[in-house]
Structure 1
Amino acid sequence: MEKFRIPAMRYRGLVEALQAEEIDFIDEAKEFYPLELVPSLEMTPYPHQSEALVAWKLAGRQGVVVLPTAAGKTYLAQMAIQSTPRTTLIVVPTLDLMHQWYAHLVAAFPDAEVGLLGGGSRDQTPILVATYDSAAIHAEALGNKYALLIFDECHHLPTDFNRVIAEYAIAPYRLGLSATPERTDGKHADLNILIGREVYRKRAEDLAGKALAEHEIVQIKVKLSQLERERYNQLIQTRNDFLKQNRISLGSLQGWQMFVQMSARSQAGRRAMLAHREAKEIALGTDGKLRILVDLLAEHFPARILIFTADNATVYRISQELLIPAITHQTPVKERHEILTKFKEGKYNTLVASNVLNEGVDVPAASIAIILSGTGSTREYIQRLGRVLRKGNVENKQAILYEVIAEDTTEERTSARRRGDNSPQEEKHKSGKLKVIYGTGKKQDLKAAEQLEINYSTQNKDVTNGVTDSSPKRRRNHPQET
């Protein structure tokens, strides 16, 4: 007997096509099933959460929602799970996030079985929280067990290693969450295929004073000392002479890659690369930044403050000179947990960190963030801002992000790139007008979305078990049962 095969991701399209033609079929592919979820943790959603859920439903329960850090993406996911009550896989980038999601879901659905995949755990439960690494390793075994996939920080998905999580899955419903889905390699375009198109987006400015704290972003420029300036200019000249001689421009990734390659081929190239690195160290670690830092700490005492740098050396220097607890990737897990706990409880007022607090750490008590140095990544910038935007229990919270940069150095261009500004001039960002972006640009409402509620009938005669939004005729033949 002749047989045909299709990729797992095409499962939903095939089932819908067979249903549309009213062709009888037996489905032996799926092992997912309906759940009875009774939430014990319910809150009145913010308007943007309700709008995002509606937009996702209108897109057939497939798509990416872009919300700033601290805007309530976890609760939005809970709303999506409640409205799509089937076996669910949640994929997250870090172990810290995995445990945060687990704690939230256990509190939200105490009667449901919630498990973990990663960090030594290999549970097999109807609701499973997994790291990207573990989910990718077990992608084939997980592929037919879950009807709803939720990808937190979904910009991690379109890599050669992680994408199999989506490709090997027959899940008809998919939700991607991120504050910054864009990737420098352009692979964020693959999210349209792996999860679905972008269905909703909000910026931090849109939600200020509503779901997020009112905030302002202040840039402070620091002048290098005379000795620092003379040495910096000398080093930059050495680097630029080499770049000019070899016709290399650092304005693109290809230019930087060429610089790295050429620096390994000659003595002059090595000198140019060493000069570039030393000049960068001067700009990042100028003593002027530490003086500004001391002033800011004194001005905002006893507010809880997060200090971010681009390198561990500056973290440890600040920690030793100012007696401030430090967290880097070298900090043991238990020590990091203890430091964060004491910060949340108010025993510590200030923390200094490199990159480990950029993603997946909940620190709602902080109201001031100080960036002493960083990369040109917009994602890193938005994530650092998000560390202080969560309102918590503070009424009329006013958050401030200080960006301290060395004047007339390459840091100005780096700052402009991460802020999406073509001119590195000092500015304060204030709340803009509310901007709602639906994927289609057409006005949609809750009533229209509710018409697309899924049919999760548990009748044995329904061989597809209602895996997709069926045609109106099919919905009439199989009423909902809970």
Structure 2
Amino acid sequence: MARTPTLTFDRGTLILHPPPRGKAWTDYAVWDDRVEKFRIPAIRYRPLVEALQAEDTYFIDEAKGFYSLELLSSLEMEPYPHQSEALTAWKLAGRQGVVVLPTAAGKTYLAQMAMEATPRSTLIVVPTLDLMHQWYAHLVSAFPDAEVGLLGGGSRDKTAILVATYDSAAIHAESLGNQYGLLIFDECHHLPTDFNRVIAEYAIAPYRLGLSATPERSDGKHTDLNILIGPEVYRKRAEDLAGKALAEHEIVQIKVKLSQHEREKYNDLIQIRNDFLQQAKISLGSIQGWQKFVQMSARSQAGRRAMLAHRQAKEIAVGTDGKLRILANLLAKHYPERVLIFTADNATVYRISQEFLIPAITHQTPVKERHEILTRFREGEYKTVVASHVLNEGVDVPAASVAIILSGTGSAREYIQRLGRVLRKGQDNHKQAILYEVVAQDTAEEGTSARRRGVRNAPPRRQDRQEKENRRGNLQVVYGTGEEKSYRAAEQLEIKYTVEKKKSKKEEDLE
């Protein structure tokens, strides 16, 4: 008598044995000589189950370790239209996909809504310990009757709702892989690395939600999110939400001229660098060009001299005295508003802190000191804080109305994260936020800022037209997989995954 095919989970993979009679499952399986059974990647669990169900192939599912939850939220708010739209788009896409929303647009509450709409054991993955504790506090408040735990920073809980760092989740991916039906990836641009991607690849979770303000990666691996999580299903930018979920805001770029001495020194250093790049036939217009420059700088004296010149020229552009004069004017103009100052390096942070008597936060700042500074900033005791990259991501920064960036950043992600620090409306529905980007004129920094804004060697009129389009927020928003599907259809769209074994005739007779 033929045995019933059984699907089991084995350290990040699936084993299907004995082989079913149908053919659809063969698209996912590979024969493993070591165990003499067919093995399937865990991430293919959902399409495999759907294929077996479509062929009416009966099988026993012992792979699934996730389960349904009763989630009664005690933290309910009226969602913004973009949150409801994003949730619907995600449902229409089969509860798999990436939602792109700017910083401060309510991604955490959107995730809570997704959890309520898909009540399954849930794993939330975040990039930092700070974010892990922020998510934990929110979820404990939102679902007081649910088991919420932590994985990372010394905690190794095993709970129905688990918040983990990417590092810890990747380390334990083989054991976590079948325990959660819903995966939520916060700042999901961290997922496609060689180390982190196993979190998604070793998991059978049929439901997946990615959240990010800027999912695009410079190495192009953001395209892997289509496989690891699902397609992008919804996108909004800060321009779209200004005056609604986010504060009305203005972005002002201020160009500063180098002093004559700084200009001469800067030009000399850039000439040394460019002479080497021309001789080595290297173009810095691509990642590959920069990587080649780094490699060549380690192989010859001329290369090291060129790299040193490059760094010194950058230091001049970033730390020109003209920027500090502009900073002084802006601080005086906006006093006593709360202001966040961002720089590209710690040296400039400490210089500003010393000259203006402003509290500073860098990666070297102890956790307790950082917490105290941000608390005093939140309470209004400190009006201004200066920081480097440490406040870009993973830190709950109190609301401010003014942000000053003292260097042109080529990273759209970093720029959007910094802008998001002043876009929270709080209790002020009439808040007017402003972001200043202070850039050294006629330097590589100016070009870096232009590239980040998408302006590349265009004629002046074309640049003006493109910048106006950017300000208008002329963007295409993706709402789902098809116009004909309705919200009602989205609510009904749910695939049934079951581990119930079919009762034998003997068991039925006993009932």
The TM-score with structure 1 as length reference comes to 0.92
1:345-384, aligned counterparts within 5 Å? 345-384=379-418
Residue of 332, 338, 341 corresponding to 2:375: 341
User: Is the CA contact 1:307–1:369 (under 8 Å) kept in the aligned structure 2?
Assistant: yes
- Give the letter for the 1:432 counterpart: G
Residues matched between the structures, number: 462
After superposing the two structures, state which structure 1 stretch, 287-296 or 19-28, moved more.
19-28
Moved more, 433-442 or 174-183: 433-442
Q: For residue 405 of structure 1, report the CA deviation from its aligned partner.
A: 0.5
Which residue number corresponds to residue 161 of structure 1?
195
Rounded Cα–Cα distance in structure 2 between residues aligned with 1:35 and 1:265: 59
Q: Provide the rounded CA distance (Å) in 2 between the counterparts of 1:462 and 1:433.
A: 55
Deviation at 1:448, TM superposition (A): 2.4
CA distance in 1, matches of 2:302, 2:171: 45
1:445 to 2:486 alignment:
yes
Shift of 1:439: 4.7
Cα distance in 2, alignment partners of residues 462 and 431 from structure 1:
59
Task: Give the C-alpha shift of residue 438 in structure 1.
Answer: 2.9
Equivalent position of 2:440 in the other structure: 406
Distance 2:167 2:98 in 1: 21
With over 3 angstroms needed to count, the CA separation of the structure-2 counterparts of 1:21 and 1:441, relative to structure 1, is closer
Say whether the 8 Å CA contact 1:136–1:162 is kept in structure 2: yes
Give the direction of change, closer, same or farther, for the CA distance of 1:449–1:245 in structure 2 (3 Å limit): same
What displacement does 1:266 show?
A: 3.0
Which residue does the alignment assign to 1:51? 85
Q: Residue deviations 1:327-346, cap 9 Å, x none?
A: 11111111111111111111
- Distance in 2 of aligned mates of 1:232 and 1:444: 58
Give 2:340's match in structure 1, choosing from 278, 299, 306.
306
Does the 8 Å contact 2:132/2:164 carry over to 1?
A: yes
| Equivalent in the alignment of 1:385 | 419
**Displacement after TM superposition at 1:22 (Å):** 2.4
On the 8 A contact 1:377/1:417 being kept in 2, the answer is no
Distance 1:186 1:441 in 2: 27
Q: What's the counterpart of residue 293 of structure 2?
A: 259
Aligned partners of 1:243 and 1:249 also within 8 Å: yes
DSSP-derived class of the 1:5 partner: strand
Gaps of 5+ in 2: 1-17, 20-36, 504-511
Distance in 1 (CA, whole Å) between partners of 2:359 and 2:484 is: 50
Counterpart in the other structure of 1:278: 312
Distance 1:324 1:206 in 2: 34
In structure 2, relative to structure 1, the CA distance for the partners of 1:157 and 1:88 (3 Å cut) is same
Alignment map for 1:185-204 (pairs within 5 Å): 185-204=219-238
Partner of 2:210: 176
1:271 Cα offset (Å)? 2.2
Q: Which amino acid aligns with 2:105?
A: A
1:243 to partner: Cα distance? 1.8
Measure, in 2, the Cα distance between the counterparts of 1:167 and 1:262.
36
Of 33, 41, 47, which aligns to 1:13? 47
Do structure 1's residue 98 and structure 2's residue 132 form an aligned pair? yes
Aligned to 2:453: 419
1:139 lines up with 2:173 in the alignment: yes
Give 1:232's match in structure 2, choosing from 249, 262, 266. Answer: 266
Measure the CA separation in 1 of the matches of 2:322 and 2:237: 33
- Distance, in Å, in 1 between the alignment partners of 2:282 and 2:497 is 60
1:344–1:365 CA contact under 8 A, matched in 2: yes
| Secondary structure at the counterpart of residue 145 of structure 2 | coil
Is residue 78 from structure 1 mapped to residue 119 from structure 2 by the alignment? no
Structure 1 residue 158, shift from structure 2 partner: 0.5
Task: Give the Cα–Cα distance (whole angstroms) in 2 for the partners of residues 198 and 239 of structure 1.
Answer: 40
* C-alpha distance in structure 2 between counterparts of 1:432 and 1:14, whole Å: 41
1:461, CA displacement in angstroms?
A: 6.7
Query: Hey, what's the Cα distance between the residues in 2 that align with 1:254 and 1:117?
Result: 36
Matches within 5 A, 1:4-43: 4-43=38-77
Q: Which amino acid aligns with 1:438?
A: Y
**Equivalent AA in structure 2 for residue 269 of structure 1:** G
1:436 is aligned to 2:470:
no
How far does the alpha carbon of each residue in 1:192-228 deviate from its partner, in whole angstroms, 9 at most, with x for none? Answer: 1110111111111111111111111100000111111
SS at structure 2 position matched to 1:437 = coil
| Secondary structure at 1:4 match in 2 | strand
Cα distance in 1 between the residues matched to 2:68 and 2:126: 23
Q: Alignment identity in percent?
A: 82
Tell me: CA distance 1:74–1:335, structure 2 relative to 1, closer, same or farther (3 Å).
Answer: same
- Contact kept in structure 2, 1:378 and 1:417, CA below 8 Å: no
Give me the whole-angstrom Cα distance separating, in 2, the residues matched to 1:452 and 1:381.
37
Report the CA distance shift for 1:179/1:191 in structure 2 as closer, same or farther (over 3 A). Answer: same
Q: Over aligned residues, Cα RMSD in angstroms?
A: 2.0
Conservation of the 8 A alpha-carbon contact between 1:381 and 1:419: no
**Equivalent AA in structure 1 for residue 454 of structure 2:** G
Match of 1:117 among 147, 151, 156: 151
Contact 1:205 1:432 survives alignment (8 Å): yes
Q: 1:441 to 1:85 in 2, by over 3 A?
A: closer
Superposed CA deviations along residues 314-371 of structure 1, whole A, max 9, x for unmatched, are 0000001101111111111111111111111111111100001101222242111100
Counterpart secondary structure, 2:40: coil
Greater Rg, structure 1 or structure 2? 2
Q: Which amino acid aligns with 1:288?
A: G
Once residues 46 and 423 of structure 1 are traced to their aligned partners in structure 2, the CA distance between those partners, rounded to angstroms, is 39
What SS does structure 1 have at the residue aligned with 2:71? Answer: coil
Corresponding position of 1:244: 278
Measured in 1, the distance between the counterparts of 2:185 and 2:150 equals 15
CA contact 2:124–2:185 (8 Å) conserved in 1: yes
* Contact 1:305 1:368 (C-alpha < 8 Å) held by counterparts: yes
Find the residue that maps to 2:195 and give its secondary structure.
coil
